[in-house]
Amino acid sequence: MRKEEKMFDSVIIGAGVAGSVAARELAESGRSVLVLEQRDHIGGNCYDEPDEHGILIHKYGPHIFHTKEKKAYDYLSRFTDWYAFGHEVVANVYGKLIPVPFNLNTLHMVYEKEKADTLEKKLIETFGMGSRVPILKLREQEDPEIRQIADYVYENIFLHYTMKQWGQTPEEIDPAVTGRVPVVISYDNRYFQEPWQGMPLHGYTPMFEKMLDHPKIRVETGVDARSRIRFEEDQVILDGEPFCGEVIYTGPVDELFNCCFGRLPYRSLRFDFEYLDQKDYQGHSVVNYTVSEDFTRITEFKYLTGQKAPGTTIVREYPFAYTGAEGEIPYYSIANEANQALYEKYRALTEKIPNVWLLGRLAEYKYYNIDAMVMKALELTEKIKQEV
C-alpha cells in the first residue's frame, strides 16, 4: 500500500451529490478525505458534459434542481450561480400536448368550456384553490364528476407511463411515487412548485468540481472501492490495513456484501441520445409520452440549459428491470415491504461496523431528489462531526 493513503481521516465511496457534499463538509472540518469513484468522472447521475456537437447533455437523464429548502439552495450556491426558470412539462396525449401535472389549464384544454367551468368550480370547492391532490386520492372521490376527471387523468397521464416506468400499475407501486406529480388545483403549469428551481449556470459537473476542489480532498476516479476496501467482522480493511476513520458509502448496499441475500431490485433506464441538425425538435424541454411509445419521455436539452446552438440534442428514456449485468445502472429503488425487508438485512450487516455510514439514493434505497440528498449529507456529516 502507498504510504500516503494511511494519512486519510475519512473515506467516501461515490462522488455523486451525497459523496461530494459529505467530502466537502468533512474536509472543511479539518479531516483529510479520500473519495473513491468507480466511474471515470465525478457528479454521479447529475454528471453533464458537452456531446460531440457541443450541446450540453445530462448523461444519466435530465436533472432539474428544485427545492423548498433554502439551506440546500444556499449550500449549492456556494459552488455555482444559477440559470433559474420554472420547469414545465407537457404530455403527448394522442398527439395533443397538455400541461403536466394536470391542472386547471389542462382541464380547460381537455373539456369544452361549459363543462370545464363546472368541473373547475367543483374541484375548487372540494379541495381548495392551490391544493395538490394525488391521483390515487382523486380516484377515491365519490362525486361522479370528480371521478370522471380522475378517470381521465388516470387513463391518459398515469396508467401507461407508470406501466412503462415501473412495469406495474399505479395501484401496485408505492403511492408516494405517483404522489410526486399530483393533480394541482391552480393555473400553475410548472412541474415543481418549489421556490428555487433551475440549473447550475455552467452545468452540474463544474459545480461538483468546485465542491471537491479542496486541499484536504483527494478524488480517485475509475476505482471500484470494493477493490480497496473489505470488511472483517466489525472492522474496515483499507488497502490491507485496518482503517478506523469514517467510511461513507453511497453505492448499492447489496453490492458491498456480494449480494449474499440476493439482489435488491431496481429499475434501470436506457438513454437513447440523438443529435438533430435543426434548431428545434419539440419546442419544450420535456415531453412525457403518457399513452403511446415504449419510451417514457423525450428531453430536449437546449430548453433545460438555455444553450443557444444551431443544432439540438434529444434523449429518449426506455425503462427496464435492472439485473446487475455488466454496464447496467440501478437508477430507481422499488419501494415495497419485501424490498425494504431485504434492504434492512443488508443494513444490519453494516450496523456491526461502527465507522461505516450509508448515505444516498442507492445506499439508503430511497427515492431522493438532489436537494434531499444535500440535506441528508449535511445532516450525516454534522452528526459525525459532533460524535468525534
Q: Which stretch binds ligand UDP (CB under 6 A): 25-33, 50-58, 153-161, 239-247?
A: 153-161
Binding mask 216-235 for ligand FAD (x = CB under 6 A): --------xxx---------
CB of 269 to ligand UDP, least distance (A): 9
Q: How far apart are CA 206 and CA 95, in angstroms?
A: 38
Of the candidate residues 158, 192, 266, 368, the single one contacting ligand UDP (CB under 6 A):
158
Q: How far apart are CA 18 and CA 149, in angstroms?
A: 40
Of the candidate residues 11, 15, 55, 286, the single one contacting ligand FAD (CB under 6 A):
15
180 binds ligand UDP (CB under 6 A): yes
Q: How far apart are CA 191 and CA 202, in angstroms?
A: 22
Q: Are 278 and 241 in contact (CB under 8 A)?
A: no
Which cell is 226 given? 470494493
Of the candidate residues 8, 27, 31, 39, the single one contacting ligand FAD (CB under 6 A):
39
168 binds ligand UDP (CB under 6 A): no
Residue with cell 425487508: 341
370 binds ligand FAD (CB under 6 A): yes
19 binds ligand FAD (CB under 6 A): yes
Q: Are 252 and 264 in contact (CB under 8 A)?
A: yes
Q: Which stretch binds ligand UDP (CB under 6 A): 173-181, 212-220, 229-237, 380-388?
A: 173-181
Binding partner of residue 370 among ligand FAD, ligand UDP, none, CB cut-off 5 to 8 Å per kind: ligand FAD
Binding partner of residue 39 among ligand UDP, ligand FAD, none, CB cut-off 5 to 8 Å per kind: ligand FAD
Nearer to ligand UDP, 13 or 334 (CB): 334
38 binds ligand FAD (CB under 6 A): yes
CA angle 208, 45, 26 (to 5 degrees): 40
Q: How would you label 298-320 residue by residue, b for 16+ Cβ within 10 Å and e otherwise?
A: bbbbbbbbebeeebbbbbbbebe
Give SS3 for 42: coil
Nearer to ligand UDP, 158 or 204 (CB): 158
Of the candidate residues 362, 374, 378, 384, the single one contacting ligand FAD (CB under 6 A):
362
Residue with cell 419521455: 297
Of the candidate residues 26, 46, 185, 315, the single one contacting ligand FAD (CB under 6 A):
46
CA angle 95, 100, 103 (to 5 degrees): 115
Of the candidate residues 107, 346, 368, 380, the single one contacting ligand FAD (CB under 6 A):
368
User: Which residues form the interface with ligand UDP (CB under 6 A)?
Assistant: 91, 100, 157-158, 161-162, 165, 177-178, 180-181, 288, 290
